[in-house]
Amino acid sequence: MQALYSNGRLQNIEMMKLDILAIMAHPDDAELSCSGTLIKAVKAGHRVGIADLTRGELGTRGSAEKRMKEAARASELMGIHVRENLGQADGFFEVDRGHLMAVIKVIRKYQPKIVITNAVKDRHPDHGRASALVSRAAFLSGLRKIESSEDGGVQPAWRPAAVYHVIQDYYMQADFVVDISEVIEEKFRAIMAFDSQFYVPDKEDDKEPRTPISGKEFMEFLRSRMRETGRPAGVEYGEGFTVERTLGVKNIFDLF
């Protein structure tokens, strides 16, 4: 497990608890799908982190080393508190005991109230597999008879209050939408930290192979998707999520 970024605000075990932990298959998954939500949470005073399962080493463009630097830069732009990479094999991680234990350890380490993870089904098979891996690990993490340790100490059992799944390439009906209109440009700046992967205007020396996400049209698609997601909720730009259990509110006026 490799620490990529820390802004220095997590200095002891009490401060290490996060309000939101996004656990994603690849560096840039969080930026593309839920960085607006993460940025808003940070601005509201919540502690937020990201754990990437892999380094995205099988990506057509760039390299694993480049992706790590890009992830650190994106983390700084978002203002999140910590980011780690679990070092699992891009394209080859499975939902098995070893991979589950690695995710259990990171959940117990940061004890998040909310876990956000990949779409339940998507064009990239790693996304659906990561979704299943994280969902199962979040449940198992709450079983005290499963023992894990971090830095020589036994970790207490911990189960997040909720696991939410992002919506990625495939369209899905959102169960709820977060209004990210006020941070939309900050979201795009975080995405563009991954300049090896995406379209950069006036980048004349780009000799990397084209991919489904490297052209200008993909950026246009992203903006349109966020408009489409936001419109039914009555906002300009939105990020959609699906849930594993029915959402509940204490007061009907908390809904809008």
Residue type, 193: A
φ/ψ region of 101 (left if φ > 0, alpha if ψ in -120 to 50, else beta) reads: alpha
Q: Taking 80 as the threshold, does the pLDDT of residue 9 lie above it? A: no
Tens of pLDDT, residues 193-224: 998 888 777 665 667 788 888 888 999 999 99
Concatenating the DSSP letter of every residue in 125-148 gives HHHHHHHHHHHHHHHHTT-TTS--
| Cα four-point dihedral sign 44, 45, 46, 52 | positive
Structure-block tokens of residue 121: 């089904």
Tens of pLDDT, residues 120-146: 999 999 999 999 999 999 999 999 999
Q: State the alpha helices, DSSP H only, in the chain.
A: 29-43, 64-78, 97-110, 125-140, 184-192, 216-230
* pLDDT reported for residue 152: 77
Concatenating the DSSP letter of every residue in 29-73 gives HHHHHHHHHHHHHHHTT--EEEEEEE--TT-SSS-HHHHHHHHHH
Q: Taking 80 as the threshold, does the pLDDT of residue 1 lie above it? A: no
Quick check: 52 and 130 in contact, CB under 8 A?
Answer: no
CATH superfamily, domain 2-247, is LmbE-like (3.40.50.10320)
Confidence (pTM): 0.93
What's the farthest any 2 CA atoms get from each other in the chain? 57
Tens of pLDDT, residues 142-201: 999 999 998 878 999 999 999 999 999 999 999 999 999 999 999 999 999 998 888 777
Q: Where are the domains of the chain?
A: 2-247
Whose structure tokens read 């978002």?
78
Give the model's confidence band at 15: pLDDT under 50 very low, under 70 low, under 90 confident, else very high: low
* pLDDT reported for residue 124: 96
Whose structure tokens read 């959102």?
174
Count of beta carbons in the 10 Å neighbourhood of residue 238? 26
- Pairing label, strands 149-150, 20-24: unpaired
Structure-block tokens of residue 156: 């207490």
